[in-house]
Structure 1
Amino acid sequence: MKKGVLLLVLATILWGGNYICGRYLAPALPATLLNTIRWAISTFILWALLALNKKKFPIFSKWKELLILGFLGIFAFSTLNYLGLRSLSASYAGMISAGIPIAILFFTPLFLKEQIKAKSWFGALVSIVGVILLVQGKQGGTTYASMIGIVEILLSCLAWGVYTVLGKKYGSKIDPLTMTAGASFYGTILSAISCIGTVHPDMIHMTATAWFAVAFVSTLASVLAFFAWNAGVKIVGPALSAPFINLLPVWTVVFGVLLLHERFSILTLVGGVITIIGAILATYRRPENKKMKNHAKAS
């Protein structure tokens, strides 16, 4: 159990680091080029892992599902995040991303036809109030660019919400490793296409530290975080694992303050806390008691 919890925490730490690197890389690389490089490297690693496990790579037989997932989870989510980080601090963007579980909640009935309990809808409402406070907390220093950044991060949350729900739907036919590798493949292609005519050499300003950040987001924040999360879910169980995703905005705030010396208003902090609390209320599921299960079977 402890090992599973540590793995879940490790995954959120690595994902939190992605926001820090994205903020640092904002002036070094255009968002679309950064996303292309990141996922091209990740795709190569994932493809190699598939080969080592002697698994087929169904990029053609399952192309529709993988293309949709690649567009939503790899191209749209990541690119929108990197675009938003051009004008928003990592800690602020991370707190907005606390709305991801709420996006998942909203799309679940639509695509999976699953009923959502009243407690979850109440948690969603609380999180929405928190996001409103977050936006209001930014008003003191709001510019046109930062408002665009807020919209970009909110859209990235919606993209990840649909990606997660569809991933669960397609998961009955495609295993997680194959699904991630396939989505990465198509997402990389879409990212590369988006660079055509929009990326120029004078927009690239790489340093040794910037290359280190690219290496981090391409390996640790992508492949390792994925495996740590899935291994942790397998040990702890989905019900107890879901709330751990809410550690992501916590780590982005901690790293943003410590590493980037970011500051934010009290109202922003309050909004972030309320958003996280709402997300926990919306996503927490009490695990079923095994003894009750066994008793039901015996009767």
Structure 2
Amino acid sequence: MKKGILLLVAATFLWAGNYICGRYLAPALPATLLNTIRWAISTGLLWGLLMLNKKPFPIISKWREFVIQGFLGIFAFSTLNYLGLKSISASQAGMISAGIPITILLFTPFFLEEKIKTKAWIGAAISIFGVILLVEGRQANSSQGSIVGQIEILLSCLAWGMYTVLGKKYGKKIDPLTMTAGAGFYGTIFSAISCIGTVHPNMIHMTRNAWICIFYVSTFASVIAYFSWNTGVKIVGAGRAAPYINLLPVWTVLLGVLLLQEHISGITLLGGIVTILGAVLASLK
């Protein structure tokens, strides 16, 4: 059990690093190109793992599921995250992303036809109020760009919520490794297409540290975090694992302050705490 919990905590820590790297890479690469490079590498690694495990890769027969998941979870979620991180801090993006469990809750009745308990809806309402505090609390001192960045992070949460719920539905016939590899394959194609006509050489400013960040988001924040989370869920169970996703904004804030010297205002901190508390209430059985 302890091993499972450590794996869940490690996964959220590695995912938080993606926000830090995304913030650092904002001036180095356009968001669409960054996402294309990241998932091209990750998909290659995932494909290699499928081959090592002698598993088939049905990119044609299961194309519909892979296309939907690739668009939502690989292209939309990641690209919107990187776009948002160009104008808002990693800490704020992480706290807004604390609403992810709520988006999963909202989409569950529509796609899975599962009933949601009253306590979960109360937690959702609290969490949504926290997100409103996060957004509204910054608008007085925010530029138009940062407001757009907040909206982009909110939209990424919606994309991930739908991706997660549909992943549970499709997971009845497709194992998680194959699903992630397939989604990565088509998501990379979507990202590459979005670069056409929008990415120019003078927009690329790579440094040694930027390449290190590319390596991190393609391996640790993608493949390794994915395996840590799924192994942890297998050990402790999905119900007990769900609340641990709320560690993501906590790690993101800590890393943002320590590594990027970001500053957190009182209203931002309050909004983040309210969002996390609501998400925990909604997640607990």
Give the TM-score normalised by the residue count of structure 2: 0.99
Paired residues of 1:137 and 1:265 also in contact (CA < 8 A): no
Q: Which residue of 1 aligns with 2:113?
A: 113
- Counting only pairs closer than 5 Å after superposition, residues 85-234 of structure 1 correspond to structure 2 as 85-234=85-234
1: CA distance between counterparts of 2:75 and 2:174?
A: 20
State the alpha-carbon separation in 1 of the partners of residues 234 and 228 from structure 2. 10
Query: Aligned partner of 1:125: which letter?
Result: A
Q: How many Å separate the matches in 2 of 1:139 and 1:164?
A: 30
Structure 2 distance, partners of 1:137, 1:248, is 21
Q: Deviations over 1:253-273 (max 9, x none)?
A: 000000000012101101000
Contact 1:136–1:268, Cα closer than 8 Å, also in 2? no
Give the letter for the 1:284 counterpart. Answer: L
* Shift in Å, 1:70: 0.1
Shift of 1:43: 0.3
Q: Distance in 1 between matches of 2:27 and 2:284?
A: 38
Asked if the contact 2:139/2:147 (under 8 Å) is kept, the reply is no
Q: Partners of 1:62 and 1:224 in 2: how far apart?
A: 24
Instruction: Quote the offset at 1:99 in angstroms.
Output: 0.4
TM-score, normalization: structure 1? 0.95
Q: 1:135, CA displacement in angstroms?
A: 1.1
Q: Which amino acid aligns with 1:166?
A: L
Q: Deviations over 1:221-243 (max 9, x none)?
A: 00000000000001111111000
Report if the CA contact (8 A) 1:104-1:165 is conserved: yes
1:131–1:271 CA contact under 8 A, matched in 2: yes
**For 1:194-230, what per-residue CA distance to the aligned partner results, in whole angstroms no more than 9, with x for missing partners?**
0000000000000000000000000000000000000
* Residue of structure 1 in register with 2:271 after alignment: 271
- Of all paired residues, the percent bearing the same amino acid is 73
Q: Which runs of structure 1 show a deviation greater than 4 angstroms over 4 or more consecutive aligned residues?
A: none
Aligned equivalents of 2:83, 2:141: Cα separation in 1: 19
Tell me which amino acid in the other structure corresponds to 1:254.
L
Q: CA RMSD in A?
A: 0.5
What's the counterpart of residue 297 of structure 1? none
Report the Cα distance in structure 1 between the residues aligned to 2:120 and 2:211, rounded to whole angstroms.
Answer: 42
8 Å CA contact 1:28–1:204 kept in 2: the answer is yes
For 1:290, the equivalent position in structure 2 comes to none
Aligned ranges for residues 12-27 of structure 1 at < 5 Å? 12-27=12-27
**1:11 matched to 2:11:** yes
Letter in 1 for 2:21: C
